[in-house]
Structure 1
């Protein structure tokens, strides 16, 4: 039985999963989990990258204490777009900014005076959004130019963490494809964009394909953690790409949903889709573990409910999935709906008040109880996912019959059933830890233990269980969806 460590670091928590493989089946065990949130300091949001790295090392120590000290390799996947900057001597210059930094919106606005959204989309295939690496860099250039002048190397988050383990500098393909700086259909940086924005492309470490070995862990790591050298592997560094690798998609009529703080919805494609409609509808093209692409849209996920929970907890109100499901059932269906991707919900001071204000401004009943708020959020999310999938069908000219949902948010069975109901499609939910499993798949292929992705998906199918949700048809969904579409059109114009 061989073993690998899969670090899956999300925007709300991180975890170390031990993946064991006997040549026929995989086995997954959670070793260590820790919270991870942006830290607000003097008008900026940062990631405490050294704390994340420290927690990752603690996870390894826990694994060793449990007897899992002999592992073949480790891989790291994270959220997209964010990065750290290194000096010429290889030292981390500052805590990385978080994509939730409010200054990025102004940075994007100013950058678009120098290069248009249309040009950016044609050249990179990526949706224009203030969170993108390209606009974060331009914001730093405007507001903290000394940092860029001092910087020698930019490493995206999973590769920055891998660098701290092995000392090798590269940016893996799938995570690089989130930056809006990678030339569409290639593994080359789009230097023209950076030149027009006055940013040196020399900052960018070279792009490496997934399924490659970055290097071995450093001697200092061996000494500190009392382990033998471990290979550090370039897995699909973007958590969605790792999640997709683990989903048992059956055919080209399947759509994937990677569900967490964000929900990313898409289909695999051989080449980026850069037609005008794709750009107008906010779709993006990002890399897969196989070196191809995902045509997808980034959507709000459990962030809305996570923020409400934080407020309820501060008010001393306990909550969990079981209680939320009960409160959901007690509330009236389709009483109020919101556009969950309205910019006002990106990072408000008080999510509950922001949702209430939205409903008031759109002349809807204001959700006041927990149940009303939970139902408003979950029903609105499900309807937005239907909106996205309908447009995916138009862009691909395919009838998408089935939805494969993976990720931590599928533990919320209400969300899975509502998605089936809203879309009138079968939902196949699982595996839950899709990103961690896809991370491990990347390692097993790089190590030569699994031949290819076809074999990997077959192994996943008989290693991990899934749950099926059939749509419960109701005329109420159609009338609610029509109201939702009208609301989205009105509030987006």
Structure 2
């Protein structure tokens, strides 16, 4: 009998629900509904609307119920680090803060005054980013936040949504690992860090790993949707964890680049890699599926272009790409990860400011801005890949680009040119595929991730980009490093 799996895949700008199945003919995916996920700015803070997200999930479940589709299970993945407070009565205490809220600016330094940075990294292996849950929670503690003070439980975003569906509270390993409160070696919550936050394990749900059962749909949800007691499975709750599970690699000699709002580049390892070098380079060890660790670096990805496009509504994506192709190569270069680009009021003006301060030509046209973004991302990818090569236990012969960015042929070619390795692009729906994969394994449709990856490799269309123009890109990389050094001196 064919199993149909319902995957909820929520990103920082949009969400969708997908029906997926693995058959003798390969992988089948069908989008059920798609919806925006917008930041809400009010009262000096940025929030997510978790109730709107829940309603969109319900709408997707209603659609499949009305079509008479038999669902085997449901899985939910989301972006990382954000969470919901739950009161003793089981109700949410307020909408969750968004990780782009500025209240955590400078938060790591304040936390490290009480717990040394080295101790935090030695425990978690997680790179320092001001919006990590550890620093969000500490900021709320210092601010005497009323929701935190009243909280009985803390649920990360996918776990909060599964709670709304099942009434069961869990803490899924991969999403919890992004919080910087999980011991990378024991793969459990770190008591030392919880104590520093005035929290205990009792403030979190039952700890689960990808493939475990969360619960079944509540009677309320069954009535609303017209479905029965469908199981909800804990997939890799962190969207990147799900995406990496779906990398269509046939051997271990690869790195991955999950390309979307964020670009996450890394390798799979069997154990955390926590050394003075990884700490210095600010690499992260996040939980993966099947006992793996994702040794990776977070890179500010298509967020740069997405924010610019908000002011370019009259131009389509293909038109912007075409203009970028016509723009002068390597005219202006930025560091995509500079704090200036985290959440500026106007992204184009922030890029122009960076170029002006580093004595570069200021990009004016849309094509010049887009070309600047793409070339800078490709050069940043080279820098990170060079570091990964030093840290990886195996050679990196291929870079698999997955996620929405895998459809960007221009950026993929730039990435191959910059890194000097073959870039294999696809699948664009990697996150949803990885979500479905873990549900399929839980249902007994496959025994392991390797088998699933072989099925994915044979089921999706992949494009390969080979390096070109090595000399020009080597020269551009030298310019990139010089620009970064110049801005570093200016901003000190």
Question: Please, what TM-score do these two structures have when normalized by structure 2?
Answer: 0.97
Change (3 A) 1:137 1:412: same
Structure 2: segments with no counterpart, 5+ residues = none
Deviates more, 1:394-403 or 1:99-108: 394-403
1:373-412 → structure 2 map (5 Å cutoff): 373-396=369-392, 398-412=394-408
SS in 1 for 2:372: helix
Q: Does 1:425 align with 2:426?
A: no
Change (3 A) 1:45 1:144: farther
SS in 1 for 2:95: coil
- Deviation sequence 1:313-349 (CA, Å, 0-9, x none): 2xxxx22232112101221000000000000100000
Contact 1:6–1:439 (Cα < 8 Å) also in 2: yes
Query: C-alpha displacement at 1:57, in angstroms?
Result: 0.9
Q: Does 1:40 align with 2:41?
A: yes
Count residues with an aligned counterpart.
Answer: 488
Structure 1: segments with no counterpart, 5+ residues = none
Paired with 1:478 and 1:128, the residues of 2 have a C-alpha distance of 30
> Could you tell me which residue of structure 2 aligns to residue 459 of structure 1?
455
> Could you tell me which residue of structure 2 aligns to residue 61 of structure 1?
62
- Deviation sequence 1:143-162 (CA, Å, 0-9, x none): 24322221001111111111
Deviates more, 1:14-23 or 1:266-275: 14-23
> Could you tell me which residue of structure 1 aligns to residue 220 of structure 2?
220
Change (3 A) 1:351 1:96: same
Paired with 1:68 and 1:302, the residues of 2 have a C-alpha distance of 38
SS in 2 for 1:32: strand
Deviates more, 1:16-25 or 1:227-236: 16-25
SS in 2 for 1:7: strand
Deviates more, 1:409-418 or 1:120-129: 409-418
Deviates more, 1:333-342 or 1:394-403: 394-403
Change (3 A) 1:117 1:215: same
Paired with 2:3 and 2:22, the residues of 1 have a C-alpha distance of 5
Contact 2:300–2:337 (Cα < 8 Å) also in 1: yes
Paired with 2:450 and 2:341, the residues of 1 have a C-alpha distance of 39
Contact 1:120–1:128 (Cα < 8 Å) also in 2: no
Contact 1:255–1:402 (Cα < 8 Å) also in 2: yes
Paired with 2:432 and 2:142, the residues of 1 have a C-alpha distance of 37
> Could you tell me which residue of structure 1 aligns to residue 16 of structure 2?
15
Query: C-alpha displacement at 1:385, in angstroms?
Result: 0.5
Contact 2:141–2:197 (Cα < 8 Å) also in 1: no
Query: C-alpha displacement at 1:195, in angstroms?
Result: 1.5
SS in 1 for 2:335: coil
> Could you tell me which residue of structure 1 aligns to residue 95 of structure 2?
95
SS in 2 for 1:72: strand
